[in-house]
Structure formats: C-alpha cells, structure tokens
C-alpha cells in the first residue's frame, strides 16, 4: 500500500524522496501565496518572485501561472495571484520575516485589514507544521475557501493535500469564484 501524501507537501515529508535536494539537509518545503491589485501588479509579482529566488535561505522557487481574480473580503481592482513552492532552510518565522521584507520593498502598507495592496505574500504551508501564534498561523486558516489561493496551488501540484482535503476537490467547491488563468 502506498503511503498517503503528507499534508502541505503533496509528497513524502521534506528532506526525503524526489523533493530532497542533494546536500540540502534540513531543507523545508513551504508554499507561498502571492497577490497584488495596485500599481503594475504583474511586474510587482514577477519582481517578488525574483526577490524570493535571491533571498538568503531559499534554495529553489517554483511558481504557478498567474491568475486574475476578483477581490474576496476586499475591495479595489481585480487581483493577480500566483503561488510558489520554495525549498528553504529558514524556519517559519524567519521565512515570514523574509516575505514581509519583500512586501515592504514593494511598497506594501497595512492601513486596514484586507486593504488593496501592492504586494501580498502569505505563508500558506510549511512542511507539515501546525502553528498558531499572534504573528503566524499555518496552515493558513482560510486558504481552503479561496479560489485565488487554490487555483495556483492546484496549478503547481494537483495532488497537494490541505487539512480540509485535496486542492483539486477544494477548488471545485469554489467554482463560483472568479478565477481566470492568464
């Protein structure tokens, strides 16, 4: 009987199997949601991906296609969204610090909850870690309800499992949400 995929990786635990990078002991797999709806959103997302690629502690970045999505629990123009799968040696809070530095570099402000933004980088999953602190909750608590998160995750790995189920089934449940691949 085959081992079922681990939550968050869609594969065997990080550091083993085909996801293990030679010479990368202690590497973790993290999944990041990317979004923007102010300014030149596409250019900002592309620059953020480059910033991730060159960030200390990040060894590899794989990015989904970009998707145009309607705002959910937010306002303003349509969003562009994507997801990235990263191989990192950082711990979850250090990775969050890196993501927030990249957001700040691209003009991210937080005037109020769910405000339109130049860049949003959300740490969605980190290996099989479950964490609930004032700074960070992983797995991300609402990703299973949001087509703008699920479509890019499904694009990267249709077999990825979240605590609520596989991303393909969860995405079908969000079919009424406006998500269009570019």
Q: Give the distance, in angstroms, between the CA of residue 10 and the centroid of all CA atoms in the same chain.
A: 14
99, with CB counted inside 10 A (0-12, 13-18, 19+), is buried
The pLDDT-based confidence of 105 (bands split at 50, 70, 90) is very high
Residue 138 lies in a domain: yes
Q: Could you tell me the pTM of the whole model? A: 0.84
Q: Specify whether 91 is catalytic.
A: no
Do the domain assignments include residue 14? no
2 found inside a domain: no
The pLDDT assigned to 115 comes to: 56
Instruction: Give catalytic status of residue 51 as yes or no.
Output: no
pLDDT over 60 at 120, yes or no: yes
In a domain? residue 123: yes
pLDDT of residue 74: 73
Residue 116 has pLDDT above 70, yes or no: no
State yes or no: pLDDT of 3 exceeds 80: no
Residue 3 in any domain: the answer is: no
The CATH number linked to 102 is: 3.30.70.560
Residue 167 lies in a domain: yes
Which structural domain, as residue segments, surrounds residue 153?
A: 25-181
Catalytic pick among 19, 51, 85, 122: 122
Model pLDDT, residue 25 = 64
pLDDT at 110 over 80: no
Residue 171: inside a domain, yes or no?
Answer: yes
Catalytic residue among 19, 120, 155, 157: 120
Please count the structural domains in the chain. 1
* Residue 81, both tokens: 């969204």
The verdict on whether 178 is a catalytic residue reads no
Q: Catalytic residue at 113? A: no
Is residue 60 a part of any domain in this protein?
yes
Q: 74 CB contacts (<8 Å, ≥6 apart)?
A: 37, 114, 115, 116
What is the pLDDT averaged over residues 129-152? 95
Give the H or E element holding residue 86.
strand 79-88
pLDDT digits 0-9 by tens, 10-54 = 433 333 333 444 445 689 999 999 999 889 999 999 999 999 999
């Amino acid at each position: 009987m085959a081992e079922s995929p681990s939550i968050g990786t869609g594969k065997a635990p990080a550091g083993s199997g085909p996801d293990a990078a030679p010479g990368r002991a202690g590497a973790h797999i993290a999944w990041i949601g990317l979004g923007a709806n102010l300014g030149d959103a596409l250019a900002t997302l592309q620059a953020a991906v480059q910033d991730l690629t060159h960030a200390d502690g990040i060894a590899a970045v794989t990015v989904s296609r970009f998707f145009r999505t309607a705002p959910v629990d937010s306002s303003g123009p349509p969003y562009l969204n994507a997801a990235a799968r990263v191989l990192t040696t950082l711990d979850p809070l250090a990775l969050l610090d890196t993501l927030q530095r990249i957001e700040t570099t691209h003009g991210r402000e937080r005037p109020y909850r769910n405000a339109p933004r130049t860049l949003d980088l959300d740490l969605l999953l980190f290996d099989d870690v479950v964490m609930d602190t004032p700074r960070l909750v992983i797995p991300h608590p609402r990703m299973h309800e949001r087509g703008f998160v699920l479509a890019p995750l499904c694009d990267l790995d249709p077999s990825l499992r979240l605590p609520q189920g596989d991303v393909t089934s969860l995405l079908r449940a969000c079919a009424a949400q406006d998500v269009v691949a570019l």
